[in-house]
Structure 1
Amino acid sequence: MTALAGSTADAFWATSLRRWNTVCWLLFAVMAVGLVAIDRPGGSKYAALALLGGMVLCYAVLDRFPNNPVVRPHVYLWVLVVALGGLAYLRGNYAALFMVTLPHYWMFGRTPRASMVFLGLATGATLAGSVLREDGWNIGFFTETLVSTLIVVAVGALIGLWARSVVAQSAERAELIAELEQAQAELTEAHRRQGAADERERMAREIHDTLAQGFASIIVLAEAARAGLGSEPARTAQQLRSIESTARENLAEARELVGSAQRPGQAAAGPVARTLRRILDRFAEDTGLTVDADLADLECDQQTRIALLRCTQESLANVRKHARASTVGVVLARQPYGVELEITDDGTGFVVEESTGFGLDGMRKRLAELGGRLTVTSSVGDGTRVQALIPLGVRA
Structure 2
Amino acid sequence: MLPWQRQQPDDRLTQERVLRWNLAGWVLFGLLPPALAVLDASPARRYWMLGLLALIALCHTVVLTRPDNALLRPRIYLGVLALVLGTTAYLLDGGAAFYVVSLPQFWLFTGAPRDAITFSGAAAALTVFGGTLDQGWSPQFLTGNAVFTLVAYAAGVGLGLWMHRFVGRSNERQERLTAELAVAQEELAAAHQRQGAAEERERLAREIHDTLAQGFASIVVLAEAARTAAATDPVRCAEQLTSIEQTARENLAEARVLVGSAPESGVAPGSLATTLRRTLDRFVQDTGLTVTAELPDIDLDQRTRVALLRCTQESLANVRKHSGASTVGVVLTELAGGVELEITDDGCGFTVEESRGFGLDGMRRRLAALDGELTVTSSPGDGTRVLAGLPTQSQDRR
Q: Report the TM-score when normalising by structure 2.
A: 0.65
Q: Is the 8 A contact 1:376 1:386 kept in 2?
A: yes
Q: Is the 8 A contact 1:8 1:170 kept in 2?
A: no
Tell me the amino acid that sits aligned with residue 175 of structure 2. Answer: A
Q: Aligned pair 1:378/2:378, yes or no?
A: yes
Q: Aligned pair 1:325/2:307, yes or no?
A: no
Q: Distance in 1 between matches of 2:178 and 2:232?
A: 79
Q: Is the 8 A contact 2:331 2:343 kept in 1?
A: yes
**Secondary structure, counterpart of 2:356 in structure 1:** coil
> Residue 300 of structure 1 corresponds to which residue in structure 2?
300
- The two structures, once aligned, show a CA RMSD in angstroms of 4.2
> Residue 289 of structure 1 corresponds to which residue in structure 2?
289
> Residue 4 of structure 1 corresponds to which residue in structure 2?
none
Identical residues among aligned pairs (%): 56
> Residue 35 of structure 2 corresponds to which residue in structure 1?
none
Q: Aligned pair 1:354/2:389, yes or no?
A: no
Q: Is the 8 A contact 1:8 1:174 kept in 2?
A: no
> Residue 364 of structure 2 corresponds to which residue in structure 1?
364
Which structure is higher in RCO with an 8 Å CA cutoff and minimum separation 6?
A: 1
Q: CA offsets per residue over residues 155-187 of structure 1, 9 Å max, x none?
A: 333333333333333333333333333322222
Q: Distance in 2 between matches of 1:394 and 1:361?
A: 26
Deviation at 1:261, TM superposition (A): 3.2
> Residue 215 of structure 1 corresponds to which residue in structure 2?
216
Q: CA offsets per residue over residues 32-51 of structure 1, 9 Å max, x none?
A: xxxxxxxxxxxxxxxxxxxx
Q: Is the 8 A contact 1:8 1:171 kept in 2?
A: no
Tell me the amino acid that sits aligned with residue 250 of structure 1. Answer: N
Q: Distance in 1 between matches of 2:155 and 2:140?
A: 22
Q: Distance in 2 between matches of 1:285 and 1:140?
A: 118
Q: Is the 8 A contact 1:337 1:391 kept in 2?
A: yes
Deviation at 1:138, TM superposition (A): 4.6
> Residue 250 of structure 2 corresponds to which residue in structure 1?
249
Tell me the amino acid that sits aligned with residue 153 of structure 1. Answer: A
Q: Distance in 2 between matches of 1:140 and 1:302?
A: 94
**Secondary structure, counterpart of 1:186 in structure 2:** helix
> Residue 70 of structure 2 corresponds to which residue in structure 1?
none
Q: CA offsets per residue over residues 116-163 of structure 1, 9 Å max, x none?
A: 9xx9xxx9xxx9xxxxxxxx9957525543222002222333333333
Q: How does 1:96-115 map to 2 (within 5 A)?
A: 107=112
Q: CA offsets per residue over residues 302-327 of structure 1, 9 Å max, x none?
A: 00000010000000000000000000
> Residue 341 of structure 2 corresponds to which residue in structure 1?
341
Deviation at 1:345, TM superposition (A): 0.3
Deviation at 1:297, TM superposition (A): 0.7
Q: Aligned pair 1:187/2:196, yes or no?
A: no
Q: Distance in 2 between matches of 1:241 and 1:360?
A: 30
Q: Is the 8 A contact 1:333 1:339 kept in 2?
A: yes
Q: Distance in 1 between matches of 2:197 and 2:152?
A: 66
Deviation at 1:260, TM superposition (A): 4.8
- Using the TM superposition, name which of 148-157 and 305-314 deviates more: 148-157
Q: Is the 8 A contact 2:377 2:386 kept in 1?
A: yes
Q: Distance in 1 between matches of 2:211 and 2:381?
A: 29
- Using the TM superposition, name which of 187-196 and 328-337 deviates more: 187-196
Deviation at 1:188, TM superposition (A): 1.9
**Secondary structure, counterpart of 1:349 in structure 2:** coil
Q: Is the 8 A contact 2:113 2:161 kept in 1?
A: no
Deviation at 1:373, TM superposition (A): 0.5
Q: Is the 8 A contact 2:301 2:393 kept in 1?
A: no
Deviation at 1:193, TM superposition (A): 1.5
Q: Report the TM-score when normalising by structure 1.
A: 0.66
Q: Distance in 1 between matches of 2:266 and 2:385?
A: 24
Q: Distance in 1 between matches of 2:183 and 2:267?
A: 42
> Residue 178 of structure 2 corresponds to which residue in structure 1?
177
Change (3 A) 1:149 1:378: same
Deviation at 1:203, TM superposition (A): 1.0
Tell me the amino acid that sits aligned with residue 158 of structure 2. Answer: A
Q: How does 1:1-396 map to 2 (within 5 A)?
A: 107=112, 138=139, 140-267=141-268, 269-393=269-393, 396=397
**Secondary structure, counterpart of 1:348 in structure 2:** coil
Q: Is the 8 A contact 1:352 1:377 kept in 2?
A: yes
**Secondary structure, counterpart of 1:340 in structure 2:** strand
Tell me the amino acid that sits aligned with residue 179 of structure 2. Answer: A
Structure 2 stretches lacking a partner, 5+ long: 1-5, 13-72, 84-98, 129-136
Q: Distance in 1 between matches of 2:7 and 2:297?
A: 69
Q: CA offsets per residue over residues 196-243 of structure 1, 9 Å max, x none?
A: 111111111111110100000000001111112111111111111111
Q: Distance in 2 between matches of 1:209 and 1:25?
A: 81
Q: Aligned pairs, how many? A: 307
Q: Is the 8 A contact 1:221 1:239 kept in 2?
A: yes
